[in-house]
Chain A
Amino acid sequence: MDGFKEMNAVVVKSVVHDYPAKRKTVARRALNDVSFSVAEGELFGLLGPNGGGKSTLFRILATSFAPTSGSVSILGRDLIANPESVRPFLGVVFQYPSLDNRLTVRENLVHGGRLYGLSGPTLTARIDEMLGHYRLSARASDLCGALSGGLRRRTELAKSLLHKPKVILLDEPSTGLDPAARQDLWEHLMTLKAEGATILTTTHLMDEGDRCDRVAILDQGKIVAIGTPTALKAEIGGDVITIETNDASGLRDEITKRFGVTPQAFGGQLRLERASGHAFIPQLVEAFPGRLRTVSLSRPSLEDAFLHHAGRRFSDSHEEAQKK
């Protein structure tokens, strides 16, 4: 490097967070020694299954509460000792909209903007701009309580970004948005990023992870991998081969014996990572005639990266989290 050091907008160091035991719930460690940093102007994704700790981390970053231990700074300011110094620069988009249902869309924006110190013609101009951005102008005088989920989310986004925050935090921003609105959201995020904003978003959607400059994969309160989506996928040796079979465990052992690689078994599926997978498939098919129902070859996805690092499937951990 030529001596130029990029400034970090967000620095998280050794953050641990415990939820104390309450009626009917046991104490739980939601974050376990989480450290990462986000450069200024970066679009950073926190990718992980539900219950992985994303929302806890989001709420700590949003200054809702302080972690049990560890340190967090945003734009060089200590978020834990002095949350007030950070709040003016944050734009927080909650997963469940923080709107007043008895107020109209415009009134929500007016009050939201004033909480961030905007007023008068500046506020009006910003509101009109955001209403246009999120195609809400025609609904500006509707009560928020009467809006559909997607429109409410768009209002929430417009409200949270009114004051041109330097650091934007989003918690599962696509929840409840239809594909067109999701497209609008991501286009707007890209514009904000081009204007210099630092963006940190949680998501459980792989394609959203792919749009980020870097992602941290969060599983069971720990960061299991961090890097650009390309790098994370490249860590997997070559291609991913998925085999469907009626005898997963038997076949796994035989593949291990014969080829010296151990596939991972999930239900009726075997999965293995291998360079030049296209050359390996014919060998497999010849070795086990009639025992493979389907064989597929794919380029590694972030889902594969999750599986590679967490040792289990993303969808499985989702279900586990929901059972809890």
Chain B
Amino acid sequence: MTALMTLWERDIIRFFRDKPRVIGGLVPPIVFWFLIGTGLGTSVRVPGAPEDLSFLQYFYAGTLVLIVLFTSIFATISIIEDRREGFLQAVLVAPVSRLSIVLGKVMGASTVGLAQGLAFLLLAGAAGLHPGFHGYALAFAVLTLASVGLTGLGFCIAWVLDSSQGFHAVMNLFLIPMWMLSGALFPAAAAPRFLRAVIALNPVAYSVTGLQRALLPSVVAQDSASMGACLAILAAFAALMLTLSVFVASRRTHDI
């Protein structure tokens, strides 16, 4: 337990010491949100949503997910640095279970992602969203599960890659499309059938739907997943990613 906590604490210290990362994870998505949201304004009609809905409001949940995705996943790049700088070799020969190493790392990185997400959540009022305590609590639950799951995914990718350039390639090829096909930018209901199938399989989509249900229920289509289903799917995704991370980290290879 001490080991898990110490790895967790270390990641948080590192994050807040790295000011560009604090800014880099938070500011670009906010700028995205503001520019795309106000630019499209009311010119995009979300099917089934109230007439006066601004895209700024629709896009809010997607931006929140983008912040968590960016921050959580980029935090796992530190695994590649840890390996290259040699820190990891000492952790791997210490009397610490692989589960503790994975949990320490994933908790550290997802706390960082969650903190950034919560910072953006403070702007909900400014976006004209008034979800109330219940809504905020549900949004918090969705964000927590999403950041653990996404960090676990980042952990698996970072563990098997040996360069941060490689990580960026995977990021652009795989993670950005995952975000785009999540209902973050456009509602799933508006997409062609084959994209809807992809969206239904995409765990990021359930974090967007969950957040929209918590913060802005009026934009959620009738047939989308319920809040309970979103939370259950995100929890299952997080558990799967953690299991996979422990499996990946348990292999003993030369490339340490």
Report which A residues bind B (CB closer than 8 A).
19, 59, 62-66, 84, 87-88, 90, 92, 94, 96-103, 107, 110-112, 114-117, 119, 159-160
Chain B residue nearest to A98 (CB atoms) is B90
* Closest A residue by C-beta to B84: A96
Q: Is the interface of B mostly helix, strand, loop or mixed?
A: helix
Cβ of B126 within 8 Å of any chain A Cβ, yes or no, is: no
Q: How many residues of B contact A (CB 8 A)?
A: 29
B48 within 8 A of A: no
- Is A19 in contact with B85, judged by CB distance below 8 angstroms? no
Contacts of A160 in B (CB 8 A): 90
| Nearest-Cβ distance from residue B13 to partner chain A, whole angstroms | 7
Tell me how many residue pairs across A and B have CB atoms closer than 8 Å. Answer: 77
How far, in angstroms, from A114 to B253 measured CA to CA in the complex?
A: 25
Could you tell me the distance between the alpha carbons of A38 and B5 in the complex, rounded to whole angstroms? 36
List B contacts of A112 (CB < 8 A).
90
Does B95 lie within 8 Å of A62, measured CB to CB? no
A87 to B92, CA, bound (A): 10
Closest chain B CB from A306 CB (angstroms): 27
Given contacts A19-B254, A101-B85, contact A115 B91 (CB under 8 A): yes
B10 CB within 8 Å of chain A: yes
Cβ contact within 8 Å between A65 and B2: no
Bound CA span A65–B252, Å:
5
- Check if B28 is an interface residue, CB within 8 A of chain A: no
What is the bound-complex CA distance between A110 and B13, given in angstroms? 13
CB neighbours of A100 from chain B (8 A): 10, 14, 82, 85, 87
Beyond A102-B14, A115-B6, whether A96 also contacts B92 by CB under 8 A is no
Is A92 within 8 A of B93, CB to CB?
Answer: yes
Contact A92 B90 (CB under 8 A): yes
Q: B89 touches which one: A88, A98, A114 (CB < 8 A)?
A: A98
B225 located at the interface, meaning its Cβ lies under 8 Å from any Cβ of chain A in the complex = no
In the complex, A303→B214 CA distance in Å?
A: 74
A94 in contact with B89 (CB, 8 Å): yes
Give the residues in chain B near A64, CB-CB below 8 Å.
89, 92-93, 252, 256
